[in-house]
Structure 1
Amino acid sequence: MQPANPTFSPLYQQIKGLLLKSLQDGEWKPGELIPSETELAARYGVSQGTVRKAIDELAAENLVDRKQGRGTFVATHNEAKSEYRFLRLAADEEPNVKPKSTYLSVDRIRASSQIAKLLDIKPSDSVFVVKRVLRFDGVPRIFDEIWLPASQYKGLTLERLQQCNSTLYGFLESSFNVRMLRATEHIKAVSAQSEQADILRVDVGTPLLLVERLSMTYADQPVELRRGWYLTDKFSYRNELY
């Protein structure tokens, strides 16, 4: 039996991995300027072109943000263009209207076996359960139930959420240094139960869109599970496919 051939990654991929580690370790914080391509090339002993190719991939993955004439910055959810990156609900007639969040409750509980499995934690571990409603022009359109591993969000309270002036992801990034980098979603049609009907001001049995999202940070570590019930009579769930 012949030994398996070793697998070699291109040099720029190796540099990308080193840059990712620096991001993951917090060497450069969200919104901060990272060293120039020339400085990074000298640091890693490679060409500037190799560094540029690695950064190009990080930019394509929304991990860094190139700004003409200013340099490359660590991407942040507090940037206007990234604030609603994961929000796909848009009004059919006014798609640019942004929602206003109202946080209803924050409770700390033991994770169920299902939630623990999805968040890759132990069933005995604690999670925060956040409930909120999102209103468009004052009308409730989304009811969210959000599970967050308590060990990563120590000190989270309803009062802190109610006082934050950014999106939830922007708040979690700036307050707990947790960045949501990518997410997987499952979507299906459901009927409103009593809690969703009460919050969304509709009748029990009203058709809703249920969106379950698992959000990951570096190294694909799950850091948030969200179930959102969407009222779509005058709204659409929009996405771009590549």
Structure 2
Amino acid sequence: MGDEEALGFRPLYRQVRDKLIRRLVDGVWAPGEPLPSEIQLAAELRVSQGTVRKALDAMAADNLVVRRQGRGTFVARHDEERVMFQFFKLVGDDGDRSFPQSAVLSLAQGKANAAEREALKLPKDARVTRIRRLRSMAGRPTIVEDVALPDALFPGLAGMEIPNNLYGLYAVHFGVAVASTRERLKAVALTAEDADALGAKAGAPALRIDRLALSLERQPVEWRLSVCLTDKVHYLSELR
């Protein structure tokens, strides 16, 4: 069958979207690289140009590709600007929106504990790399976070210099693109350890962000617990 029904019974644009995402997963197109034109993709996939356009629009809405007027469609990069506006939701009470600077407090490897295995869907004997870092906004320590990463996905990471933009590191050095996240927010009191890192008082109110990062294939790739002081910042979620 050569017509559009050959792709199956689900909405055609979603099937085309899934096929294009598979190419991103397989590294057919690198971050920042232009995709073939809508006409080329439509001819190759044997669907209408409108179906391809709708699939690309859905991918753009998920920040997987970037549409540039008059230039085409490009694979999204994990640069700081994209990460800030897609994944980083803390904004200064004065409206300032800037990417925080980070300092690594510790970096270690070990056998995944029960919580890490559950969050990251790991087998019993899996190992993880753990990063603890302090993040500052406007020069003020604001966030202390603990990151757990499966060693199987990030071999050798423990021996690398850890940059400010972790998602960029994952994409460039390990071919792991973070496509989406799931977050749970909870008001907490600072533990003595977190308070010491932040230069605050133990028991002071804070916001805990429990974030699971997912790959293009919806595979858990990172579990991050961030404890944030909110006396000068707030969490902003913009729904569409």
- The answer to whether TM tops 0.5 is yes
SS in 2 for 1:8: coil
1:151 aligns with 2:149: no
Contact 2:146 2:225 in 1 (8 A): yes
Aligned to 2:126: 125
The one of 196, 205, 218 equivalent to 2:216 is 218
Query: Secondary structure in 2 aligned to 1:77?
Result: coil
TM-score by length of 1: 0.91
User: Which residue number in structure 2 is paired with residue 199 of structure 1?
Assistant: 197
Runs of 4+ in 1 over 4 A off after TM superposition: none
Shift of 1:97: 3.4
Q: In 1, Cα distance between the equivalents of 2:23 and 2:147? A: 29
Count of aligned positions: 233
CA contact (8 A) 1:131 1:146 kept: yes
Which residue does 1:21 correspond to in 2? 22
Instruction: Kindly indicate whether the alpha-carbon contact (under 8 Å) linking 2:191 and 2:203 is maintained by their aligned counterparts in 1.
Output: yes
In the aligned structure 2, how far is the partner of 1:213 from the partner of 1:121?
Answer: 16
1:79, distance to aligned residue in structure 2 (A): 6.0
| 1:64-79 paired onto structure 2 within 5 Å | 64-78=65-79
Give the aligned residue type for 1:139.
R
Cα contact 1:106–1:157 (8 A) shared by 2: yes
Alignment correspondent of 2:5: none
Percentage of pairs with the same residue: 40
Deviation string, structure 1 residues 71-123 (Cα, Å, up to 9, x no partner): 11111211634444211111102422332111122110100122101101113
Of residues 73-82 and 174-183 in structure 1, the stretch that sits farther from structure 2 once superposed is 73-82
Q: Which one-letter code corresponds to 1:131 in the other structure?
A: R
Alignment of 1:29-48 (within 5 A): 29-48=30-49
Cα distance in 2, alignment partners of residues 234 and 13 from structure 1: 42
Secondary structure, aligned partner of 2:155: coil
The amino acid of 2:22's aligned partner reads: K
What do residues 170-202 of structure 1 show as CA deviations (whole Å, max 9, x unaligned)?
Answer: 122111111111111111111111210110001
Contact 1:13 1:54 in 2 (8 A): yes
- The residue type equivalent to 2:90 in the other structure is L
- State yes or no: 1:237 paired with 2:231: no
| CA 1:210–1:79: 2 relative to 1, 3 Å | closer
Structure 1 contact 169–180 (Cα < 8 Å) conserved: yes
TM-score (norm 2): 0.91
Give 5+ residue unaligned stretches, structure 1: 1-6
Show the counterpart of 1:3: none
Distance (Å, rounded) in 2 between the aligned partners of 1:49 and 1:22: 20
* Stretch moving more, 74-83 or 220-229: 74-83
1:85 corresponds to: 86
Task: Using the TM superposition, name which of 10-19 and 121-130 deviates more.
Answer: 10-19
Separation of aligned partners in 2, 1:117 and 1:42: 43
Pairwise CA distance, 1:139:
1.1
The root-mean-square deviation of aligned C-alpha atoms, in Å, is 1.6
